[in-house]
Structure formats: C-alpha cells, structure tokens
Amino acid sequence: MEEGEIIEEFTAKDGRSFLIRVPTLEDTREYLNFINELVRENTWIEENKEQTYESEEAYMKDKIEKIVSGNEISLAAFYNGKLVADADIIRGHGRAFSTGSFAIAVLNGYRDAGLGTELMKLILDKAKEAGYRIITLGVYGDNARAMHLYEKFGFVKAGIIPKYAYFEGKGFVDAITLYKILQE
Ligand SMILES: CC(C)(COP(=O)(O)OP(=O)(O)OC[C@H]1O[C@@H](n2cnc3c(N)ncnc32)[C@H](O)[C@@H]1OP(=O)(O)O)[C@@H](O)C(=O)NCCC(=O)NCCS
C-alpha cells in the first residue's frame, strides 16, 4: 500500500461522493481537524483530549511509516477535500503478526449513509489480501450503531470488560472485544 494511493470514488446512499485513498503526511491538518471534531463531540472514541498540530504530526509520521512498512492498512475518506472518515488496521507485534487491530470513525453529518460499511468492506478485503488471519476490535457497550456494523460483517464477541472507560455525561461504559477470522 502506497501513501496517497487512490482506492475509489464512492457514492453514498445520500448521493454525496467521497474520495477514498491512503493518507499522506500532507493530510496532517485534516487529521488534526478530524480528531478534534470527534473529541469535541464526546463520541465513542478512546481519545478525550484535543490534539495539537505537533502531536498530530508525530502520530501521522508514525502512521505513514507503518503503512509503507506493511504494518498498517489505512483508508481515509474525503468530501470536497475535508477528511470525514478514517479506518485502519494495525498489525500485531511479534508473534501476533497475522492479527490486526481495527478502528474506524466517521464524522457527525456523514454517518448512516453507508460510508462506514464501504470502508469496512474495502479494508477487510485488503487485510485478507495482505494475509491477516484475525481482526480484533473494541467497541463501547452502548454503541449500538457500531455493534450493528460489526455484526453485519460477521464479528463475534470475545468478551466484555465492565466499566472500561469514562465518558463525560454518562459515566463508566463497558468495552466489548470482538474478532473475525478472515482465513485459517
Ligand atoms: C460507527 C460508525 C463507524 C458507522 O459508520 P456509518 O458510516 O455511520 O455506518 P453505515 O452508514 O455504513 O451503517 C450504519 C448501520 O447502522 C445502522 N444503525 C444506525 N443507528 C443504529 C442504532 N442506534 N442501532 C442499531 N443500528 C443502527 C444503520 O441503519 C446502518 O445499518 P445497515 O447498514 O444495516 O443499513 C460511525 O457511525 C461512527 O464513526 N460513529 C461515531 C464514532 C464511532 O462510533 N466509532 C466506532 C468506534 S468502535
């Protein structure tokens, strides 16, 4: 997978068209705006603090290095140049090299139009091609939409960690670990 590689133009259920491609270091400002919008929304992501340009640049350098060395699959979706969704699979360390850890987020205003489903389909195909055997992910217990998406793709529950994370306004929330076997 190459930095900036264009994967496809995707037309969502609402008629909007998204460019899906591999990110580059030049996308740092977009990634910064993206994460900070999700943090301010107080949505179902682990991060709860707004990032600075410097911290995001360090995150992006690491991300691009992993992508070019084959240790990460990363897809970004843009609407008129604005980053609105991101999905990635990060390779496990050492003996866990054929296990990938998946994460996804779509900005508010772009959800429920099929973008998450499309990114998931694309990234799981790429993971299979790359030889990954198992994909794991974590979802918060009250995130019904994400759970629906993952079950639609055949992910099954490995277990629940009660009161794993704290959210302003709703308190402690369970974390559920899911996995999917891509190939034996
Ligand atoms: C979860 C998320 C990635 C899904 O992406 P998306 O683009 O909204 O997903 P899609 O439009 O492809 O699919 C959403 C599906 O959930 C369904 N859905 C929506 N709200 C739902 C709810 N409250 N309960 C159950 N299903 C729900 C939709 O009907 C749709 O179902 P379908 O594919 O069977 O028609 C996205 O909404 C998001 O980023 N949310 C905020 C952050 C987050 O939750 N990240 C995941 C962390 S684990």
Which uninterrupted H or E stretch holds 144?
A: helix 144-152
Does the structure show a pLDDT above 90 at 165? yes
Model pLDDT for residues 3-60, shown as the tens digit of each residue: 999 999 999 999 999 999 999 999 999 999 999 999 999 999 999 999 999 999 999 9
Q: What is the pLDDT of residue 109?
A: 98
d(C-alpha 57, C-alpha 12), whole Å = 30
Does the structure show a pLDDT above 90 at 74? yes
Q: Is 148 in the pocket of ligand 1 (CB under 6 A)?
A: yes
Q: Is 145 in the pocket of ligand 1 (CB under 6 A)?
A: yes
Residue whose CA is closest, atom 30 of ligand 1? Answer: 112
Mean pLDDT of 148-173: 97
In the chain, where the domains are located:
6-132
Residue 116 CA to ligand 1 centre (angstroms)? 7
Residue 143 CA to ligand 1 centre (angstroms)? 9
Residue whose CA is closest, atom 29 of ligand 1? Answer: 112
Mean pLDDT of 108-113: 98
Model pLDDT for residues 129-149, shown as the tens digit of each residue: 999 999 999 999 999 999 999
Q: What is the pLDDT of residue 1?
A: 87
CATH topology of domain 6-132: Aminopeptidase (3.40.630)
Q: What is the pLDDT of residue 24?
A: 98
